[in-house]
A and B are shown apart, each in its own frame.
Chain A
Amino acid sequence: MSTQENTDYIKPLPVIQPHSQAFWDATQNGKFLIQHCIDCDSNIFYPRRDCPECWSNKLDWIEASGKGEVYSFSITYEGVEEKFVADLPIVLAWVDLPEGPRVNTNIINCDPEDVFIGMQVEVVYVKATDEITIPYFQPVKR
């Protein structure tokens, strides 16, 4: 897994919550974490303070494989805020992780026209600031 540098980051940064801080700490080290409920064994994404299945507060973290499959995508050509315009077209995507959860992301490092439902993808990290590294997905390299 690689981390790409991105100076002069102007896009909105994720608004981090106390219970999601560990996720964003891990992305800086190239790890994609999923919450795991010790009481009911659920894998949870996005991170919560309490398990949404059983309301237990005994939540742990597991490291995801970083692999996934495109469940759906939409190539956005217009209608975004000015701070996203330089990135157009943006491939919005929902990726299913083998661990269970579905995540919202962008598919990067490929021609948008090549993306398809069922495409095998892997996580790739883009360092936005010294504190925040954002996970995206890219096609699995053969």
Chain B
Amino acid sequence: MSIAIIGIAEVPTLRDPERTRWDILLDVCMAAVRDAGIDKDDVHAVISPNPMAQPDMANDMALGKVPEVLGMKGCRDIAIANAGGTSNTNCLRLAKSLIDGGQADFVLIPHTTVQSDIPPADLINFFATAPLDKQWEYPYGVTFNGSMGLITNRYMHETGATAEQMAAVTVSLRAWGALDPNSIFYSKPVTLEQVLDSRVVSTPLHAKECNLLADGGGAMLVTSAEIAKEFDKAVYELGHGTRFMSATPFMRKDLFHRKAYREGSADALKQAGLSIHDMDVRQIYGAYPYTQCSALEGYGVCEEGQGAALWADGRCGPGGDLPCTTMGDATGRGHTGSGVSMAFYLETVRQLRGEAGERQVENCEHALLTTSGGSVMNACTTIFGRSPK
């Protein structure tokens, strides 16, 4: 049994406190249902990613306000999933479970996040404490950027990747974002010099290699692969594989996640009956540039230690022969909390539908997408295709 995505919607990523969480939520829910072309009363379940750092909104979504406010009379149940950046992955897995079990034909997965109205000190506290060990990390001043700086430094030490090669990843991600009307960096590319000249936040990471917290939202409408055959714009899930590493980065044996990328993608590709070389686009949600390199090494696209060179040679950016992460990742698009992975799924659907505008990968038939949550605790890889298995 398998699922397909038949409706998508998204609002542009911005920092605009005037645009409320509920406005975003209602807009994306209605637009995704209309994009699918079904009736609102045909939505049997609403499964939401937990809106991080927004406890009131989290309560509203966890306790059933969405189908009530939208008058979804056919709704049979709701659920919320919190796995950081992999929350949307869990939503899709829950949707699949309901669909395969016969409890639902159509499942709506909506996300909303507004961070621009949260005081910066509160956001720093949230992102410093939520993923960190309160005994072994927090007392030492660890931050998200610091954790990822520690991993990136070791990655560069082991692979010999240079600061210029690492900065080239951000240049390519921003180049994708510059072509995306839903990116906060739409029409705002950066040069290698601008990345390297930006402030050093946590060595070796510069400010432009870190994430800008932003507001955004999106929604997906999911159904079974069987029902989806009646929908022209359906995009099919062909395989899924996942590996957990560790909650805490310093406990991690697979520090660059290569093994998790390799084994999870191998499981997913096997189910799909495809090889990594059949993929027309690789979408990597790691939120920090080293993941864009080590993922390619893990998938077997290149040898270990060669990922940064692929980006530096421009092969993964717009016009390259190995297009990757066409929505720019959090670095090239703005970080919308648990919404970044939503944006990854939506972009993958657009690419497979041929609706990705200036970012469109030619003849895009198959896509690989990996999401990660927490301090890269896991790597969840899904293969999507334009046609069912």
Residues of A participating in the B interface, judged by any CB pair closer than 8 Å: 11-17, 20, 46, 71-82, 84, 87, 90, 92-94, 102-106, 117, 134
Q: Inside 8 A of A73's CB, which chain B residues have their CB? A: 150, 153, 203
Q: Inside 8 A of A77's CB, which chain B residues have their CB? A: 199-202
Q: Inside 8 A of B142's CB, which chain A residues have their CB? A: 92, 104
Closest chain B residue to A85, Cβ basis: B141
Closest chain A residue to B200, Cβ basis: A77
On whether A72 and B200 interact (CB within 8 A), knowing A16-B135, A20-B135, A79-B124, the answer reads: no
Sample of 16 further A-B pairs with CB below 8 A, known A82-B121, A90-B140 = A12-B138, A13-B139, A14-B139, A15-B134, A16-B135, A46-B133, A46-B136, A73-B153, A74-B204, A75-B149, A75-B203, A76-B143, A76-B201, A81-B121, A90-B141, A104-B250
The smallest C-beta distance from B290 to any residue of chain A, in angstroms, reads 12
The CA of A14 and the CA of B135, in the complex, are separated in Å by 4
Q: Inside 8 A of A16's CB, which chain B residues have their CB? A: 135
- Within 8 Å of chain A (Cβ to Cβ): is B64? no
The smallest C-beta distance from A115 to any residue of chain B, in angstroms, reads 10
| B140 and A92 form a contact (CB under 8 A) | yes
Q: Inside 8 A of A75's CB, which chain B residues have their CB? A: 149, 200, 202-203
Q: Which of B136, B145, B151 contacts A76 (CB 8 A)?
A: B145
| A104 and B157 form a contact (CB under 8 A) | no
The CA of A72 and the CA of B205, in the complex, are separated in Å by 14
Q: Inside 8 A of B138's CB, which chain A residues have their CB? A: 12, 14
| B250 and A103 form a contact (CB under 8 A) | yes
- Within 8 Å of chain A (Cβ to Cβ): is B146? yes
22 residue pairs bridging A and B, Cβ less than 8 Å apart: A15-B135, A16-B135, A46-B135, A73-B153, A74-B146, A74-B149, A74-B203, A74-B204, A76-B143, A76-B146, A76-B201, A77-B202, A79-B143, A79-B146, A79-B201, A79-B210, A82-B121, A87-B141, A104-B133, A104-B136, A104-B140, A117-B154
| A14 and B250 form a contact (CB under 8 A) | no
The CA of A134 and the CA of B136, in the complex, are separated in Å by 10
Q: Inside 8 A of B154's CB, which chain A residues have their CB? A: 71-72, 117
On whether A81 and B124 interact (CB within 8 A), knowing A15-B135, A75-B202, the answer reads: yes
On whether A80 and B150 interact (CB within 8 A), knowing A17-B135, A46-B136, the answer reads: no
The CA of A80 and the CA of B145, in the complex, are separated in Å by 10
Q: Inside 8 A of B267's CB, which chain A residues have their CB? A: none
| A76 and B121 form a contact (CB under 8 A) | no
Give the 6 A-B CB pairs with smallest separation, nearest first. A74-B149, A72-B154, A15-B134, A14-B135, A76-B202, A84-B141
The smallest C-beta distance from B217 to any residue of chain A, in angstroms, reads 25
0/1 interface trace, chain B 194-216, chain A, CB 8 Å (1 if under): 00000111111100001000000
Q: Inside 8 A of B141's CB, which chain A residues have their CB? A: 11, 76, 80, 84, 87, 90, 92, 106
